[in-house]
């Protein structure tokens, strides 16, 4: 069963509660929450305050993607703000990813590591037992509306083989440039969770788009 995680980065920031409230009825599985610090990536979005603000508007899991330096500093604030899933970048200033993943679990959230397009999957293979999910970026992080990088499919296939060979249940999440065409390729390669920002929020019928992204 493929999960669809609309990224509220592409929602109307002035009507965020309403946008989040609609997602469940539109068929979404998770709410993807892109945190950018203007340092790790060249953009700034929102933080725990926004997470806390939207929490009452949905009972879907909130999937927080930390595109920040020092991600460990934000584990407790996001737990308090109601986050369910927390992912941290392997390329961030966190030197002890394994410990950080354990800290996310200890705080009671699902934990995952994120790899940029340039980072080989070897950066996460020894972390897999600590990962509920691995997020593979299919664009360079920082902005919505970019084009899917096809080389990501090679990474998905390699990671899927590694997870299956070891009998693990780690989910593979894909983020960036996901539309009905690239969604199909990702699913065929072995992805489980698809993030979609502009595809969902710019669609005339978001519910139909979420259904199309499942490629059932
Ligand atoms: C990019 C973010 C994505 C972004 C995806 O840095 O991590 O979640 O919102 O947007 P689309 O689906 O428009 O590529
Ligand atoms: Zn994201």
115 CA from centroid of ligand 1 (Å): 14
> What is the pLDDT, as a whole number, of residue 207?
98
Percent of the chain with pLDDT strictly greater than 70: 100
The yes-or-no answer on residue 205 being catalytic is: no
What average pLDDT does the chain have? 98
Reported as a single tens digit per residue, the pLDDT across 37-50 is 999 999 999 999 99
The yes-or-no answer on residue 59 being catalytic is: no
Which atom of ligand 1 is found nearest the CA of 146? 14
> What is the pLDDT, as a whole number, of residue 59?
98
Geometric angle at alpha carbon 23, from 142 and 131, rounded to 5°: 55
pTM score of the predicted model: 0.98
> What is the pLDDT, as a whole number, of residue 166?
98
Which atom of ligand 1 is found nearest the CA of 138? 14
- Count of residues in the chain: 216
> What is the pLDDT, as a whole number, of residue 151?
98
Low-confidence ranges of the chain (pLDDT < 50): none
| 156-183: b (≥16 Cβ within 10 Å) or e | bbbbbebbeeeeeebbbbbbbbbbeebb
> What is the pLDDT, as a whole number, of residue 66?
99
* Protein residues with CB under 6 Å of any ligand 1 atom: 7, 9-10, 32, 34, 65, 139, 141-142, 144-146, 175-178, 195-199
Reported as a single tens digit per residue, the pLDDT across 68-87 is 999 999 999 999 999 999 99
> What is the pLDDT, as a whole number, of residue 203?
98
Exposure of 28 in the CB half-sphere (CA atoms within 13 A): 27
């Amino acid at each position: 069963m493929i999960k669809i995680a609309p990224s509220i980065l592409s929602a109307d920031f002035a009507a965020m509660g309403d946008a989040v409230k609609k997602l469940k009825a539109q068929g979404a599985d998770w709410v993807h929450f892109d945190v950018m610090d203007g340092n790790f990536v060249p953009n700034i979005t929102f933080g725990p305050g926004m997470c806390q603000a939207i929490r009452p508007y949905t009972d879907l899991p909130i999937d927080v993607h930390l595109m920040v330096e020092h991600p460990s500093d934000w584990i407790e604030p996001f737990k308090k703000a109601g986050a369910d899933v927390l992912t941290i970048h392997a390329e961030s200033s966190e030197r002890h990813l394994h410990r950080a993943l354990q800290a996310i679990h200890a705080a009671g959230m699902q934990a995952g590591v994120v790899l940029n397009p340039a980072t080989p999957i070897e950066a996460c293979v020894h972390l897999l037992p600590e990962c509920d999910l691995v997020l593979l970026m299919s664009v360079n992080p920082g902005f919505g509306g970019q084009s899917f990088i096809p080389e990501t499919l090679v990474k998905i296939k390699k990671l899927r083989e590694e997870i299956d060979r070891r009998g693990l249940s780690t989910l593979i999440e894909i983020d960036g440039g996901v539309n009905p065409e690239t969604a199909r390729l990702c699913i065929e390669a072995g992805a489980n969770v698809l993030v979609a920002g502009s595809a969902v929020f710019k669609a005339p019928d978001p519910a139909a788009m979420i259904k199309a992204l499942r490629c059932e």
